[in-house]
Structure 1
Amino acid sequence: MMGWNTVERNWKELKGKLKETWGDMTDDELDVIAGKREQLVGKIQTKYEIAREEAERQVNAFAHDCDAAKEPLKNVGEAVSSRQKSVKKRSLYT
């Protein structure tokens, strides 16, 4: 599972997905939040007038969705890497 540290490190890349999820968030607000989970939860809670627990649930779901989207790419990357190693080994012996 993608830890929140990974979300924080990839914040700029995830800003588009964040805006898709929470369309009322501005670029400036997301820049100020800068990947800080508690600030994101608080901003969602106040901006959308929802309970903190619901805001936390949404943030957790967002992180989970990022994991789900990233996992197939990771597997593809591993498969490509494995295939490249296999090709290199064969070329050494031919």
Structure 2
Amino acid sequence: MNEDRIKGKWKQLSGTLKEKWGKLTDDDLQVAEGNREYLAGKIQERYGLAKDEAAKHVKDFEDSLR
């Protein structure tokens, strides 16, 4: 699923993201609004992951939406 489609379905995906990464706040998800890099940065920050690992988690999530 490309980034434009993710942005279009962001409200629906926010719930799924919150289930997967419960430490993300509603504000985090609202600001992210489909921005892959911002989302990876927040996951990195909240879960103490390396940048590459957080980016991989986001990519894997995107891939699971296909």
Q: Distance in 2 between matches of 1:14 and 1:48?
A: 20
- How big is the shift at 1:8? 1.6
1:12 aligned to 2:11?
A: yes
Which position in structure 2 is the counterpart of 1:56? 55
Structure 2 unaligned segments of length 5 or more: list them.
Answer: none
Aligned-residue sequence identity (percent) comes to: 44
Which position in structure 2 is the counterpart of 1:82? none
Between structure 1 and structure 2, the one with the greater Rg is: 1
Report the TM-score when normalising by structure 1: 0.66
Q: Distance in 2 between matches of 1:41 and 1:28?
A: 15
Equivalent residue pairs, number: 66
Q: Which runs of 4+ in 1 moved over 2 A?
A: none
Q: Distance in 1 between matches of 2:28 and 2:2?
A: 22
Which position in structure 2 is the counterpart of 1:46? 45
- Which fold has the larger relative contact order, with Cα–Cα distance below 8 Å and residues 6 or more apart in sequence? 2
What pairs up with 1:10-89 in 2 under 5 angstroms? 10-67=9-66
